[in-house]
Structure 1
Amino acid sequence: MDPPESPQGGKCVVKEKKTRRRLRLSCVECTKRRQKCDRNHPCSLCVSRGVAHLCRWETVPLARPAPARPPASALREATLSDQSTVIARLKQRIAVLEDELERAREQSSSPNPSNMSIPPSTDTGGSSTSSPSQLSGQQSPKNCFAECLQRVTDNTLVDLDPFPLDDDAYGVTSTLAQISLAHHGEFIGRGSLLCALHSVTTRKTPRFLYAKSTDAISGLKDPVEKFSDMPFIRTIEELVSGLPSMLVVETLTAAFFLEVNWRYGIPEEWFRGTRSQMWASLQNRETAASRINANWLMLLFAILASAPQSAYKEIKHYASTRSSDDYFMCAMMARRIVEDEHLCVPTASFMDSAADGTVLGCLATPLLCDYLAQRGLVSEAWKLVGQGIRNALSVGMHRDPEWKLWQMMSADEKLLRRRAWWGLFMSDKTYAYFLSRPQTLRPEVFDVSLSSPMNADGTRNLFNVGQNHIVGLMELLGEAIEKCLSVEFPSAFVYFDMDHKLQEWEARLPPEYQFKSDVKVLPELNLAEKKILARQRYILHTWYLIGRLKLHLASTTGQGRAPQPPGITRRGVEECISLSIELIEFQTAAFDAYTGFEGDLSAPVYPGTCWLFEGCLSLFEASVALVTIMTQLTWVEKVAHANAALDSAVRVFHAVSQREDGKTGETATRALEVLVTIRGKYWQDTGTLVQLPKIKDDPEQVGASLMNLDKADAGSRSLANIYAE
C-alpha cells in the first residue's frame, strides 16, 4: 500500500516516519555488550567482569539514532531515461572487458613461458629490497606495490611448467628436508623448502605423509644414538649432585654472558647473586639440596648448555665436566621435576607453592628451544615454547608487571617477568613461522608493555632497544601467519600486501639498525656495544629476509588456489629469485665473518651459535627455493648471479659440516646432499661442468670438487666485494 500523499504546490509530499527516541537505561559497558544491566552503580555485570571502574552512564542518555534511510520520494526520482543511460554504460564496459580478455587469451597461447626470458625488475642486483638510506632516487615500498598492481593488468599469464624430479630423487631430498625440521608425519606447512621441492615434481606423489595411529605396535626401534647418555633423574638431590664444580660453572656462565646473553637479556647481576645464594645454601645445610627450586636449576643448566664451545674447550681437562648435551638433558629433567611437583596436592601455605619460580622456567625456555633448533629439532622447539607459554599464562605473565591489581613486586621480579614474556613471544613467532604452523600468542591475550629504551640513569639500554625492534618484526610475522600461512589460501594480493608492510617496517628502522646503511662511526658505543648492535642487526635482517621470502615462496609454490592474475604471478617469481640470492649472500657473508668482529658495522657479523639455526636453515631454504624456481622459469639476467650464490652456499655447507661435530653439523650435511641431488651440475665462469656425486657415495670426491668451487668463488667471498655495492 502506498503512503498517503497530499498535493501541495503541484508536488506530492510523502509523510516520513519518525523514530521514537527512548531513554538509555543501561550503563555504557552493558550497552556495548548488549547485556541487561541491573542499573546499579557499579552494576553487577561490570563488577563480575572486573571493570567496575568503567561502569558509567552517558551525560545524554538517549538511544542511538536510527540508521539514516533515503526518503521514499527519493526512490521515485529516477526516471526511465536515467536507467537507460546506466544500462548503456554497463553494456559498453562489458564489451571493453570482453575485448581485453580475448587479447589476453591470444597472448597466453604464444611462446612457452618456461623458455622465455623475464625482463628484469626494478632491482638490478641480487636484492629486491631498497634500504631506507637509498630510497631517495628509488621507489618507496608503497610505489613499488602500486607498480606491481599495474603490472598485473599489463603482463601475460605465466604458466610454471615443473621440471620433473623423479620419484627416487624426490624421496631422498624430501626426506632429508623433512628430518632437518621435524620427524616424519609431522606437519610442515605452506612456503617451506618441502613445498619448493614438491613444485619440481610431477606432483603425483602426495605432499604430506601422516603419522599412523591405528596400530598398537610401533616399528620405531631404540635410537642408534641417543641425544645424551645422562641417566634419568627423579629428584632434586640427584640433579644437584650433577652440578659441576664452582670453577666450571663460573667459566661457562662467564662465557655465556659475554657471547650469548645479548639475545636473552638475563640480568647478570641478579643471576650471580642468586647463584651465590644457592652455593651458600648447599654448603651450610645438610638437607639444602631438597630446598633448591627446580625452576632455578632448569635455568642454570640451560645457561651451562648454551655456553659457547670455546668455553668447553677450556674446561675439558676437569673430571666433573660434562658435555653441553648432558647439561641440556639436566635442564629438561629439572623441567620434568617441576611438572611432577604440580601434580602434588596444593599446600595451604602462602609461603610455599609449586608455582614458585615459574618465571625462571619461562626464562630458560627460549634457551632450550634455541638449543634444539640449532641441532635440527625445530619441531621440538615449537612444542617446547608452546608448553612454556602455557606455564607463563598460568602465573599471569600475560598481564603487565605494572598492573595495579598485582601485589607489590620487586624491581627484579618485574624485569624477569618482562624479559621472560618477550622471549617466549619471539620464540613463538620464529618457530611457528619457519614451520608454517599455528602460533600460540595473539595480541588480544596479553597487555605486557615493551621495555623502556632508557636506563634509570638516562643512558641508552641497547638490549631493550634491539629487542623492541625485533618484537615489532615478530608482530608482523604473526600477522603473516594468520593471513598467509593458515588453512585458507588467500590471493596473491594478500601476500604482496603483507610484503609491503614488511618493507615499510624496514624503512622505519633507525639508521643504526638498517643493514645497508653506512654507519661506520658511533662514538657513544664501545667495541662490545657495537658487537651487540651488529648481532641485533643480523637477527633483524635475517628474519626480515626470511619473512619476505617465505611469503612469495608460499604464494608461488602452494597448491589448491584458483588461478591468479598473470602479472602478479610473475612478480612473485621475480621476488623469490631476488630474495633467495640476497639471503644466500647475506648468510654466507655472515659465516665468513666467523673469525671475529673488528667494529665495522657496514659488514655482516657472525652472531654465534644461533647462526646454526637462523643462518644455516635459512640458507638451506633459500638455496632450494632458488634452484627450484630457476628450473621452472628462465631469467637470463639472473643465471650467472644465481649460480655464484649457489656455489657460495655449497661451499659454506661443506665448511660447516667439516667444522661442526655431531648434531650441529647434520643440517649442513643434509642441505649439501639435497642441493647436489636437485642441482646435479654446477656451471662455472669458465663454462665447464662439474659433476658432484652424492655424499653417501664418495665424500672425498665431494670435498675435492668443493675445493674447485672454493677457488672459483674466492673473489665473491670477500665481504668488501659482496657489500661494497
Structure 2
Amino acid sequence: MTGDRQISLALERAYARRRGRKTTSCSQCHSRKQRCNRELPCSRCIQRGVPQLCRWPDRERNPGTSQEGAAATADSQGTELGQLYIARGAPSFFGNSYFGHQVAARMIHESAPDLPPISLLSSKDSLQSFRNDSGPFSQVWDLLGLLPRNKVTVDRLIERFLTEVNWALDVVHAETFRGQFAEFWGRKFGFDEIAGVDLRWLALLFIILAFSVLLDSPTTPSPEKRKESEEASLRFYWAARRAIVISPSFHGESLDLVRAGLMVTRYLLYTRQIAESWLTISFAMRMAQAQGMHIDGEKWGLSRRATEARRRLWSNLYLLDKTIALALGRPYAISDHMCLIKAPDNIWLDGLTDEQSSVATAKPLSDPTPSAVTILGNGLAKIAGEIQDRCFGLYPASYELVVEMDEKLVAWKKQLPPYFALDDLDMVLDESHAFLPWHRLYLHSAFHFARITLHRPYLLRESITNRFSLSHEACISSASSDLKIRLRSLNYGTAENMRWTLGTHNMFNSALILGIIAVRRPHAPQTAAILNDLEEYCERLRKDVWLNEFGLAEVKVVELCIARTKGFARTTDQLGDDSQLNPDDILPGFLSHERDRSSMNPADGMSLGSAAFDAPPSQPPGYSPDMMWPAVWEDQNFAFPQAADLETWEQMISEIAYHN
C-alpha cells in the first residue's frame, strides 16, 4: 500500500472518530435528509426509480481493499455494457454509453441484462451541479411553459391522436403512454422535480401534440382558425426538436427519443419538407444504434415483448431511411452489413406481460396483425436500398441491371398476401381489421414510388428495337395507379388525410411523372385522359384548406405541365375527351406511339438528349441552349428538384416539350 493511500485512510478514520456517528442512510437519502430503511437498494431509491444509485459509503469503502484489487473490480464491472455513465442515472437501455459493433460482438456471447425500469423522472442527484441558467433546469422550465395549462385540454389532444392516428402508424402503446402522462402531470412542482423531468419522453409528447392540434381543428376551419392551429402545431414541433437535441446531453438515449425522432420525420413528410426529413431520420437512426437496436434483441437476451417492439421500431426507421435517401439521391444511414437484426414476427404482444409474450405463437401472414405491414415493408426497403446502391451509385448502371432490379420488385409484389395484393385484391378482412386499408395504402404507394424511381431515367429514351418499353410501361402503370389512390384519398377528412400523408409515399408525387409523360407525348391518344385526371387532382388539392406552400408548389408544377401540353396539342377536340385515367387503356396507345416515334430514329438506343431535332419556328419560354434537359433527365444521378424551385421545373418542362 502506498504512502498516500495510508495517509488517506488514516484521515478518514480520524474524521469518523471525531464525528462520533455512524452512517444510517444511503448516499441518496442522506443528500435529501430523508429516512432510509437501510436495505440495498432502499425503498426510497426504488420509489424514485434509481435503484442503481443506492450506495452505502461504509460498504463502498473497504480499508482492506488495495488499489490493485479495486482496479480488477472495475474491469469486471466494465464488461457489463452501460456502466460508463451509470452514475448519472439515465433510465435508458444499458445506461448511457454508446457502443459500436466491436462491443456488441463481445456482448453477444455474454449475458445481457433486460431493460431497466423506466421512470419519467430521472435522478436529481445527477443534475444538482447543473442548477444554473445553462443547465437542464432552465431548458425544462422553458419547454414546460409551452404546454397548455389545463390538463383537460392536453388529455383531449392526446386522445385525438391515440384514437385517430396512432393505431394506423404504430407510434406508441396507448395504455403505457396514458400512464406515463398521468405520472408526468402528477409530479410535484418543486425545483428538483422539474429539473428531473425526462426530456426524452417530453419530446415524444410535444410531437404528438403537434399532430393533435391539427386533428382537433374543424374539417373546414376559417382562415383565422387554420392559422392558429398551424402556429400551435409548429410551436409543439419545434419544442420536440429542441428537446430531442438537448436531451442526450443530460439523459442519454431511449426508445421514446427514437420514437420522437421518427415522428418528427413523419411530420416533415406531412408538410412535404422532404430534404429536411433526410436529416431527422438519420439522427433518429443514430439514437437507435446508440442503444444497440442494430443488434437483434434475442442477441441481447431481452424479453420477447421488448424484442418485437424494437424490431418494429427499427423496421419503420429502416423503411423511411431507405426511401427518403432514394427519393433525394443521398446516402442512407443504415449499412446492412453492420446490422444483425431480424424482421418482426406476425404477432402483436403489446399489452401482454413478459410471461404471456414468451408463450405466444406467431400467426401466418394469412391472419394479419398490425406487424404484417412492417414485415413486408422491411423486404421492400431492402430492395430500395439495393436499387440505390446498384443503379444510382457513383458508376453508371447497365439497363440489364435495371431489369434485374425490376424483377425483384415484381417478385416482392407477387408474394404479397391477398389482402395486400396489387392485383386481384381481396378486401374481405377490412371490416374486421381496420388497419388493413391504411397499411395497404402505405405498401402500394411505396412500391409505386420505388418502381417509378428505378425506371425514371429511361422514361424519355427511345430505341428502334423498343428496348426501353419495360421502363415506359412501368412508369405509366405505377404513376397512374398511384394517382388513382391519391384521388380517392383526397375525399377524406382531416384525420384520414393525416393517416394518408404520414406514409413514405408523400415524399414523391406521381402526378409530376404523369405531367412529364403528357408533355413528352402531347399528341398521344391517351394524353387527354391523363390531363383530365391531373386537372382534377390539382383542383382537389387547391380546395384543401390545409394545403401549405410546399403542396401548392407541387400543384403549380403539375399545372405548368398541363399548360405546356395543351400549348403543343394540335387540335382542341383531342383534349375534350371526358375519359378517365386507366393504365390498362393508356398503355397500349402510349407504347404504340413510342414505337412509331422510335422507328424514325437512326440508331438503336439513341437517347433524346443526343438525337438531332428539327427546331420549331419559335422557342418556348425558359429555353436554354446551354442545357439539354432530356439528357439531364436520363442521368442516373439526377434527382427531382424541389417543387418550390419553379424556375428549374419550368426550364426542364419547356425543353422536354421543345425537343418533342
**TM-score normalised according to structure 1 size:** 0.54
Task: Give yes or no for contact 1:234–1:337 (8 Å, CA) kept in 2.
Answer: no
Cα displacement string for residues 475-524 of structure 1 (whole angstroms, at most 9, x for unaligned residues) = 111111111111211111111111111011110111011133242423xx
Residue 407 (structure 2) aligns with: 500
Displacement of 1:330 after TM fit?
0.9
Residue 435 (structure 1) aligns with: 328
Displacement of 1:427 after TM fit?
1.2
1:153-302 matched pairs, under 5 angstroms: 235-244=139-148, 245-261=150-166, 262-281=168-187, 283=188, 285-302=190-207
| Identity, % of aligned positions | 21
Residue 589 (structure 1) aligns with: 488
CA distance in 2 between counterparts of 1:372 and 1:52 reads: 36
Match of 2:560 among 652, 664, 674: 674
1:422 aligns with 2:315: yes
Task: Give yes or no for contact 1:236–1:290 (8 Å, CA) kept in 2.
Answer: yes
Task: Give yes or no for contact 2:203–2:243 (8 Å, CA) kept in 1.
Answer: yes
- Over 3 Å counting, the alpha-carbon distance change for 1:410 and 1:247 in structure 2 is farther
Match of 1:577 among 476, 489, 492: 476
SS of 1:235's equivalent? Answer: helix
1:658 aligns with 2:543: yes
Task: Give yes or no for contact 1:328–1:368 (8 Å, CA) kept in 2.
Answer: yes
Task: Give yes or no for contact 1:535–1:607 (8 Å, CA) kept in 2.
Answer: no
Task: Give yes or no for contact 1:363–1:416 (8 Å, CA) kept in 2.
Answer: no
CA distance in 1 between counterparts of 2:272 and 2:158 reads: 24
Aligned Cα root-mean-square deviation (Å): 3.9
1:549 aligns with 2:452: yes
Residue 232 (structure 2) aligns with: 323
Point out where structure 1 has 5 or more consecutive residues left out of the alignment. 1-45, 55-232, 343-353, 598-604, 691-711
SS of 1:260's equivalent? Answer: helix
- Over 3 Å counting, the alpha-carbon distance change for 1:612 and 1:679 in structure 2 is farther
Partner AA of 2:156 in structure 1: T
Greater displacement, 308-317 / 622-631: 308-317
Cα displacement string for residues 105-134 of structure 1 (whole angstroms, at most 9, x for unaligned residues) = xxxxxxxxxxxxxxxxxxxxxxxxxxxxxx
CA distance in 2 between counterparts of 1:567 and 1:536 reads: 37
- Over 3 Å counting, the alpha-carbon distance change for 1:520 and 1:435 in structure 2 is same
CA distance in 2 between counterparts of 1:625 and 1:569 reads: 17
Residue 590 (structure 2) aligns with: none
Displacement of 1:380 after TM fit?
0.4
CA distance in 2 between counterparts of 1:332 and 1:589 reads: 33
- Over 3 Å counting, the alpha-carbon distance change for 1:669 and 1:579 in structure 2 is closer
Partner AA of 1:424 in structure 2: L
Displacement of 1:431 after TM fit?
0.6
1:469 aligns with 2:376: yes
Displacement of 1:686 after TM fit?
7.6
1:622 aligns with 2:534: no
- Over 3 Å counting, the alpha-carbon distance change for 1:680 and 1:717 in structure 2 is closer
SS of 1:287's equivalent? Answer: helix
**TM-score normalised according to structure 2 size:** 0.58
Residue 271 (structure 2) aligns with: 375
Cα displacement string for residues 582-619 of structure 1 (whole angstroms, at most 9, x for unaligned residues) = 33333223334x2699xxxxxxx967351797258323
SS of 1:670's equivalent? Answer: helix
Point out where structure 2 has 5 or more consecutive residues left out of the alignment. 1-101, 111-136, 349-356, 587-660
Match of 2:291 among 376, 387, 395: 395
CA distance in 2 between counterparts of 1:685 and 1:308 reads: 50
CA distance in 1 between counterparts of 2:194 and 2:559 reads: 49
CA distance in 1 between counterparts of 2:304 and 2:420 reads: 29
- Over 3 Å counting, the alpha-carbon distance change for 1:613 and 1:510 in structure 2 is closer
CA distance in 1 between counterparts of 2:288 and 2:421 reads: 33
Residue 336 (structure 1) aligns with: 245
Task: Give yes or no for contact 1:418–1:448 (8 Å, CA) kept in 2.
Answer: yes
Partner AA of 2:207 in structure 1: A
Displacement of 1:432 after TM fit?
0.8
Q: Which has the higher contact order (CA 8 A, sep 6+)?
A: 1
Displacement of 1:549 after TM fit?
1.3
Task: Give yes or no for contact 2:202–2:243 (8 Å, CA) kept in 1.
Answer: yes
Task: Give yes or no for contact 1:657–1:665 (8 Å, CA) kept in 2.
Answer: no
Greater displacement, 362-371 / 304-313: 304-313
1:627-706 matched pairs, under 5 angstroms: 627-630=518-521, 636=524, 639-640=525-526, 642-661=527-546, 662-663=548-549, 665-681=551-567, 687=573
- Over 3 Å counting, the alpha-carbon distance change for 1:240 and 1:542 in structure 2 is same
Residue 467 (structure 2) aligns with: 568
Partner AA of 2:299 in structure 1: W
Displacement of 1:241 after TM fit?
1.7
- Over 3 Å counting, the alpha-carbon distance change for 1:285 and 1:450 in structure 2 is farther
Task: Give yes or no for contact 1:535–1:606 (8 Å, CA) kept in 2.
Answer: no
Displacement of 1:302 after TM fit?
1.0
Residue 366 (structure 1) aligns with: 262
Residue 646 (structure 2) aligns with: none
Residue 485 (structure 1) aligns with: 392
Task: Give yes or no for contact 2:244–2:260 (8 Å, CA) kept in 1.
Answer: no
Task: Give yes or no for contact 1:256–1:308 (8 Å, CA) kept in 2.
Answer: no
- Over 3 Å counting, the alpha-carbon distance change for 1:322 and 1:677 in structure 2 is closer
- Over 3 Å counting, the alpha-carbon distance change for 1:654 and 1:292 in structure 2 is same
CA distance in 2 between counterparts of 1:48 and 1:580 reads: 43
How many residue pairs were aligned? 436
SS of 1:307's equivalent? Answer: helix
- Over 3 Å counting, the alpha-carbon distance change for 1:624 and 1:567 in structure 2 is same
CA distance in 1 between counterparts of 2:333 and 2:176 reads: 30
